[in-house]
Structure 1
Amino acid sequence: MTSTRPWRAALRSVALTTLLGLTIAPAAQSLPAEPDAGLAASSTSRAASAPTVEADDERALITLTGVSPTVLDGRGDTRITGTVTAPMSGPLVGARVDLVLGSRPLTVRTDIDRWVKDRGPASGRVAAQTSQPLPEVPAGQTAPFTVDLEEWRVATDGAFAALPVAVEVYQRGASTPIGTTRTFLAWNTRVEFEPLQIALAVPVTLDPDVKLFSRDEDDRDEAWGRAIGPGSRVDRIIEGTEGSFATLGVDPSVLVAGPGELADPPTPTDTPATPDTATPTSPGDMPTPTAGSTGSAAADRTRVDRLADALRGRNLFALPYADADVAATGDVDPGNSVVRDLVARAATVGDRIGEPVRGDIAWPVDGLLPAGRESAIQSLYSTSSTREAAAIIVGQPAITADSPYTPTARRVAAEGTRLIGADPRLSALLPKRSDPTAVLATQRFLAETLVLLGERPGTARSVLLAAPRNYNPDPATLSAFLRVTASAPWLETVEVETLLADAAGDRAMPQETPAKPARTAAPKPTLSRLRLEQLAGQRHTLDAVATVLKDGAAFERTYGELLDELASVRWRFGAPAWSALNNSVSADVRDATSAIRVVPRRVNFLAENGTLRITVQNGLTYAVENLRLVVAPTNPRLQVLEQPGPVSIAAGPDARRNINVPVHAVAAGRADIIAYLTTADGTRIGSQAVIPVSANPLDSTFYWIGGVLAGLVLLAGVIRAVVKGKSRIEEIGDLDTIAKRDEAAQHRNAR
């Protein structure tokens, strides 16, 4: 190993530059609701005078705003800046701020926890303090402070170390601090170690907001603006990681910006359970699917194009479509067709941004790897373009036995799948938007990595940071944090993909069995076996209906897109929203698939052989073709001679088609018919209809009897004429003579 090197001066310069971002109170993107305290409401990073802190009743609160430089080497000075907020109980008068160096070295990671959790005055010596007392700070008010530390005062013989320090504030003349905060300083004078390879995975996913799928155009547009527009959580993640080593796991549905068509579901016709008329009921009005307005659609395209441009050229991998919950599905239904399809659709990220993006890294939200999950995930990925998952991101505690040191992130599962173990302690230190500043998180992160390095300084190892699905950063703070990480000489930043292969001196270790079951910070699943089966059944029904529609692809997009969203991980963070969306989607699917139906009506069939007319109605705004009507009598009195052939119906919402079915009546009486619709392969669509039929067959005997009766009537008339003799017409004389006689009589009378 080498001793002091020229890189030291360069490191100090880089560290000083990167800490400028941390000495400024974090800026924030403007959001429509719930702004975080201490963040400037701006779409660009800008300075704030001091972070806003809510005062305590009795204690003074210390907020660190900067440590510059971040890495000490004993040759210069380090400036520590912050603010002090006086308690509500009274002002701070003549207060001073001390920097106390802890007396116990940090050799294992639990030492860090112990130092942070300790309360009261720190055990150690004062290494530095404010040069003069602070001006009076009124109760509940805040004032800045600066402490300049001569680095030799905290010097250690080691090449590197994490130094525990406490920042304490004292009232004038007091011997007990009225406020304290504990943090760490990073020490490094020479390279006597193998650097740790470090990668960062950040999910780019949607929030559990039902309004993203609202039929109200304005609500939907506003929700998508909040989800991926300027200042959104997604936007802040992309901005904060720009130019860094972070790898983004992208949910393809983020690049959709709302379904292209969100249909108002068909309004089913109100049909009585027992029809009492001989004609079908009138159909209700069925609203048609409505696409967003030109303005809304243009806004969606603009947002998506902006997002795609921002992602182009970045370190990416694709999550399953809608960030499908592979953890929950793999545990209860690894063969689920809906989730398998969503896994396969990860490729749409690359299609959208125009660059190849791998979609074979599985990232279960709970970070666990229970028995059977490896094979379950491989089953879910078996129908994808890669036919398998190349790696699974898991939490290190789920695959690590008790050990005095932290293992490498490069691991391998029992059945051979590559694993990437995420360090939960380091992952939890990623700066969040709710933090007043990121200084405490940054200093602890540096300390954690130095202690981790000290476990086996001569062994090459790797570390993965994994942000949670609901990660919510401030872009300026996250960017500064990542720059500090990249500048630390004991850390070598790499892409997540790098950890899928062995490196020199860092080969993948087999997974181990934890001494006790690992726990997860993820909320419980919203998906159960029953719910997954329901989703698969609804998907099957939609696909079946689509096969008989002239524009089946548009129908599937309209009604299937929302169904896909129900399988998302995001609903773990908003279970009530899942229930609301599920109820809506289930009603839509039910109404849409029952909109093509048989219209029930009473029929009187007065023949032995003939045709039965059945009416089929199409309530969708899609033309129907190749539909099959199946007619099944419930009583042997009536027989169907031949099932009707394929049927086509124009687009609805009130399109009808009468279909003639040849039938044979065997006997008189009630003979109901069950009629239902199917696709060409026999899959039923909608619900069946019962058609009451009153059969009254008039067979050949009826016609013989009628003919005989008609003949007898005719014969009776002939006989009567013969018996009566001459006709009255024959008894009348010459008609012409009578006429002349009558005319002469009229002439005489006239005279």
Structure 2
Amino acid sequence: MSERWGSPQPEAGAGRTTGRTAKRLGALLAGAAVLLSAATPALAVGPVRGTLTGVRTSGSAEYPATMVINTVKPAVAAQTGDTVTVTGVITNAGGSDLRATTVAVRTPVSKKPLESRSELGLIASRNSPTGQDGIDQNTNQQIGTIPAGQSRQFSVAVTPADLGIEEPGVYELAVDLWGGTEDNEKAHALGIARTFLPYSPQAASKTQIAALWPLTHAPELVAQTMPDTEQTPVLRDESLAADLAPGGRLFQLVKTGETLPGLTWVVDPDLLDAVYAMTKPYRVQKPGTAGESAQNDNTVAGTGKAVADAWLKELRTAVAASGNEVVALPYADPDLASIAHNGNGLTGMDTALSKAGTVGRVTAEGRLSVDVRTNVAWPYQGYLDQQVAATSRTAGDDLVLVNGASLPEDPKKLSYTPNAVRPIGGGQNAVVADETVSDLFQQDLSSQPARTAATQRFLAETLVITKEQPADQRNLLVMPPRTLTVDAANTLASAILEAQKDGWLSLVKLDTVATATPTPGANGNVPGPAEYPDGPRRTELSDSALGDVMNVQSGLDELMRILTQPQRVRSPFSAAMLRSLSTAWRDRTDAAGAYRAGVQGYLDNLVSAVKVPAKSVITLPGDSGTLLVSVKNDLNQAVGNLELRLTSGQLNRLNVGPPESIVLDANTSRTLRFPAKAQVNGSVQMTAQLWTTGPDAKQYGEPVTFTVEVTSVTQGVLYVIGGGVVLILLAAVRFSLQRKKRSADPDAGPDADPDAPAEAGPDADPGSAAVAGDPVSGDEKVGH
């Protein structure tokens, strides 16, 4: 991995917008005209999203039956005589029996196709039966009595001819329950379920559609590697192996994606690295050991080699198929929105994003053996504002995948669905995903009714889009979530294949959509930060979390200065820092914090592995001697470019020698000898500090303080000092006595020699005579 990361980085120190509301209001106003007069064609305005048609409607006192449509087969009618079978379930949500019930399919009021996407949205948003659902004249199945709380299945079959359908297009397919209740025995509507029936007897002009097919997973590789020559990789758990195995999410995504020629695979290169690591021997951390250096006792052998080999081989075949495109996200898929909003000005962040792009390309091409596109930004859920756009430009991305909610269309300015691509300034283009179509696959599609509803709505939306401007071929982008589920993937694939078979859709790669001619008048105004949705903003990585990640670089730079094999540490940590920024941590606050803490904890362990062992007291038994201080290297590689400095807390009492240079082999220690000279007995505090060498030397690690006890300073020194003081005092006494003597002798003239020896008499002072008779000065005695 190290060859892809290069040298160390520099030191690092679901709401909706106002525009969306306006769009809905416009659509509702247009829809009101439809309700007032079904015979009046609706204006072609923007879509009203509504809900997934066919999902269970809520029961009420007036309409106690809830109805769910399970299947519509075929999903598209190609001839007026085609039999369309609708199956589902009725549940009596009321408090009394439903009597003499029958299931009926309503005939559309005008027998005309729906002409706008806003009409689709209005139908999808209805809950209770209404006259706008059509005329109930096709009774197909007798159900009988349904006791309170009980359910019954239904299956009804109709043809377009039964419904009076002749003109190609999309029609409401409303199935309701008629019968009586305890309070009202007369037959009346008890509940309804709605979906859509596309009728396409002839090939229509084709709308191009690009579908993103994301392959992502929360980061699994950690910064630790095993202390062996191969640097065996370590994963935080085995969840990825389960995803790669038959039946797992990633396994199924590749299998389903293979059925869609022209697919745009969007891949996180970090996932490819993790899978590749699993194709060889690897280890998995034991729970609770995230910050520890990897050893045999805190890891277990990984078991996913076979599934990793098979999955990677299958993926390489799938992406290499003709017409497909591979978009490589920046390595580990850094969270652009979090960085844009909370990481502004962090030292090293721009470098990290640039490196993520470069390493992402090298990794994806190397692991998949295909050309990849890397100049694509995909902010979280596609939400865009000016800060996110600027951050993506800094990262070198000139194409941004955008949620349609961020760039909504004004129906007053554009009466049909525009091309997905549009310029947004700063040399960037946005490819804007259709919000209504994309949201179908953001929802829970684990039930058959939900999958049927999404399929029929997808077919209805895309057919209406195609018929908006039949002479003007346009294109769409479908943006499912990064964590695309198996159910959503299967539903999207089957819907695309159905629309392709019936002739109004053509699946194309992202590049085809991105290079199309932008539709004049399409919205390209990037909103300001204040318009960014509150929901996604609440789940962003915080400024403190981003700061913690960038601070790892400082500690890493410190460690790099002393290692003799820095590449063994640089590459895993550089990758782990990017993984700490991953978009995959959204809504996984605890897991994200644990991963960051593991990276920091492991780095702290490595830095502190080269240290001065703690000590308390050293005894220096004399006025000079040697202080012995050890330095220990617990790393698995040699270190150098270090020196140890001892600093005395009281230089006037204890001095030590100059710094000692250090070179230590792996897992060794060395004792250094510092000459010391003491002036007095007693305790002196000493500090031992490791420093890096060179012109920009810095402290390394934490200082260690200890006490030096000085004992038995040589007494001769004290005697000499004391004797010198006594001689000086005696000299002063002598001088004073001589002055007194001159004052008492009247014969002594002014020229008398004061230093002439006095005659010793019987009354002479013996002390003054010893001083006076001493021919040597005090200073000279000290010299001896």
Where 2:254 maps in the other structure, the secondary structure is helix
Instruction: Check whether the contact 1:228–1:254 (CA below 8 A) recurs between aligned residues.
Output: no
Output aligned runs, 1:437-452, within 5 Å: 437=449, 438-452=451-465
Which of 129, 133, 141 is the matching residue for 2:142?
A: 133
Which residue number corresponds to residue 97 of structure 1?
A: 103
1:179 equivalent in alignment to 2:191: yes
In 2, Cα distance between equivalents of 1:552 and 1:440: 56
Normalising by structure 1, report the TM-score: 0.72
Q: By how many angstroms is 1:164 displaced?
A: 2.0
1:408–1:463 CA contact under 8 A, matched in 2: yes
Match of 1:237 in 2: 253
What is the one-letter code of the residue matched to 2:460? A
Unaligned runs of 5+ in 2: 1-53, 227-232, 724-784
Residue number in structure 2 paired with 1:322: 332
Pairing partner for 2:447 from 432, 435, 454: 435
Q: Which residue of 2 aligns with 1:384?
A: none
Deviation at 1:690, TM superposition (A): 1.8
Moved more, 195-204 or 90-99: 90-99
Q: Which residue in the other structure is 1:39 paired with?
A: none
Change (3 A) 1:575 1:291: closer
- CA deviations over 1:695-723 (Å, ceiling 9, x no partner): 679689739959x9xxxxxxxxxxxxxxx
1:634–1:671 contact (8 Å) kept in structure 2: yes
TM (norm. structure 2) is 0.69
Q: Aligned-pair distance for 1:82?
A: 1.0
Q: Distance in 2 between matches of 1:525 and 1:512?
A: 25
Q: Flag the 1:220–1:584 CA change in 2: closer, same or farther, 3 A.
A: closer
Q: Is the 8 A contact 2:103 2:154 kept in 1?
A: no
Aligned-residue sequence identity (percent) comes to 22
Corresponding residue of 2:663 = 647
CA shift for structure 1 position 358: 2.0
Preserved contact between residue 78 and residue 149 of structure 1 (Cα < 8 Å): yes
Return the match for 1:390 from 395, 398, 403: 398
- How far did residue 436 of structure 1 move? 2.1
The answer on 1:408 being equivalent to 2:422 is no
2:419 alignment partner, SS class: coil
In 1, Cα distance between equivalents of 2:241 and 2:484? 18
1:195-244: CA deviations, max 9, x gaps? 432111132111589999999x9996642223332222222222222221
Which of 416, 430, 433 is the aligned partner of 1:422?
433
Partner of residue 385, structure 1: none
Cα distance in 2 for partners of 1:679, 1:391 equals 46
Displacement, 1:494? 1.0
Cα offset, 1:517, TM superposition: 2.7
Pairs within 5 Å for 1:170-319: 170-171=178-179, 175-188=187-200, 195-207=206-218, 222-244=238-260, 245-255=262-272, 256-257=274-275, 260=282, 288=295, 296=303, 298-299=305-306, 301-302=308-309, 305-306=312-313, 308-309=315-316, 311-313=318-320, 314-319=324-329
Letter in 2 for 1:164: E
For 2:343, the aligned partner's letter is: D
Contact between 1:98 and 1:130, CA under 8 Å: does it hold in 2? Answer: yes
Q: Give how far 1:441 is off.
A: 0.9
Q: Residues 202 and 613 of structure 1: is their aligned pair in 2 closer, same or farther, counting only changes over 3 Å?
A: same
One-letter amino acid of the counterpart of residue 171, structure 2:
L
Matched letter for residue 70 of structure 1: A
Contact 2:220 2:240 (8 Å CA) reproduced: no
SS at structure 1 position matched to 2:170: strand
CA–CA separation in structure 2 for the residues paired with 1:53 and 1:265 = 43
Rounded to whole Å, the distance in 2 between the matches of 1:265 and 1:426 is 41
Amino acid in the other structure paired with 2:550: A
* Residue in 1 that maps onto 2:672: 659
Give the whole-Å Cα distance in 2 for the aligned partners of 1:209 and 1:290: 20
* Cα offset, 1:580, TM superposition: 3.3
Instruction: Give the corresponding residue for 1:67.
Output: 72
Q: In 2 relative to 1, CA 502–119 (structure 1 residues): closer, same or farther, beyond 3 Å?
A: closer
- Are the structure 2 counterparts of residues 535 and 162 from structure 1 closer, same or farther at C-alpha, using a change threshold of 3 Å? same
Partner Cα separation in structure 1 for residue 574 and residue 128 of structure 2: 59
CA-CA distance at 1:420 after TM superposition: 0.8
Deviation at 1:542, TM superposition (A): 3.1
AA at the equivalent of 1:184: F
**Counterpart amino acid of residue 659 in structure 1:** L
- Structure 2 CA distance for aligned equivalents of residues 689 and 114 of structure 1: 74
Amino acid at match of 1:196: T
Change (3 A) 1:161 1:697: farther
Aligned-partner residue type, residue 486 of structure 2: P
Counterpart of 2:8 in structure 1 is none
Which amino acid counterpart does residue 84 of structure 1 have in structure 2?
Answer: V
Output aligned runs, 1:512-661, within 5 Å. Answer: 512-513=525-526, 517=531, 519=533, 522=536, 524-556=538-570, 562-601=576-615, 602-605=617-620, 611-637=626-652, 638-639=654-655, 641-651=657-667, 655-661=668-674
Cα deviation per residue 1:452-504 (whole Å; 9 max; x = unaligned)?
A: 3454444443211111123213254443223123334332321112223235x
CA distance in 2, matches of 1:212, 1:684: 24
In the TM superposition, what whole-angstrom CA distance separates every residue of 1:22-49 from its partner, at most 9, and x where no partner exists? xxxxxxxxxxxxxxxxxxxxxxxxxxxx
Residue in 1 that maps onto 2:50: none
Contact 1:100 1:122 in 2 (8 A): no
Structure 2 letter corresponding to 1:225: A
Change over 3 Å in CA distance of 1:451–1:140 after alignment to 2: same
For the structure 1 residues 330 and 691, does the alpha-carbon distance in structure 2 shift closer, same or farther, using more than 3 Å as the test? same
Letter in 2 for 1:425: T
2:513 maps to 499
Equivalent position to 1:373, from 388, 406, 409: 388
**Alignment counterpart, residue 374 of structure 2, candidates 359, 380, 385:** 359
Structure 1 residue runs of 5 or longer lacking an equivalent are: 1-50, 268-284, 382-387, 709-751
Q: Structure 2 CA distance, aligned partners of 1:485 and 1:212?
A: 46
For the 8 Å contact 2:643–2:692, the answer to whether it is kept is: yes
Greater alpha carbon shift after TM alignment, 343-352 vs 131-140: 131-140
Secondary structure at the aligned position of 2:448 is classed as coil
CA displacement at 1:254 relative to structure 2? 1.9
Indicate the larger mover: 537-546 or 315-324.
Answer: 537-546
Distance 1:286 1:579, change over 3 A: closer
Given the alignment, which residue of 378, 394, 399 partners 2:407?
399
Change (3 A) 1:666 1:237: farther
Q: Identify the residue that residue 116 of structure 1 maps to in structure 2.
A: 124
1:381-407 C-alpha deviation (Å, 9 max, x unpaired): 2xxxxxx21311111232345334433
Is the alpha carbon distance of 1:488 and 1:507 closer, same or farther for their aligned partners in structure 2, counting shifts above 3 Å? farther
Q: 1:606 to 1:239 in 2, by over 3 A?
A: same
Which secondary structure does the structure 2 equivalent of 1:121 belong to?
coil
- Separation in 2 of the partners of 1:673 and 1:560? 34
Find the aligned partners of 2:620 and 2:284 in 1 and give their Cα distance: 45
Alpha-carbon distance change, 684 to 507 in structure 1, aligned in 2, over 3 angstroms: farther
SS in 2 for 1:76: coil
- Separation in 2, partners of 1:684, 1:472: 51
Distance, in Å, in 2 between the alignment partners of 1:532 and 1:526 is 10
Q: CA 1:688–1:633 in 2, change beyond 3 Å: closer, same or farther? A: same
Does the CA-based 8 Å contact 1:212-1:223 persist in structure 2?
no
Partner amino acid for 2:607?
A: T
Distance across 1 between alignment mates of 2:399 and 2:655: 61
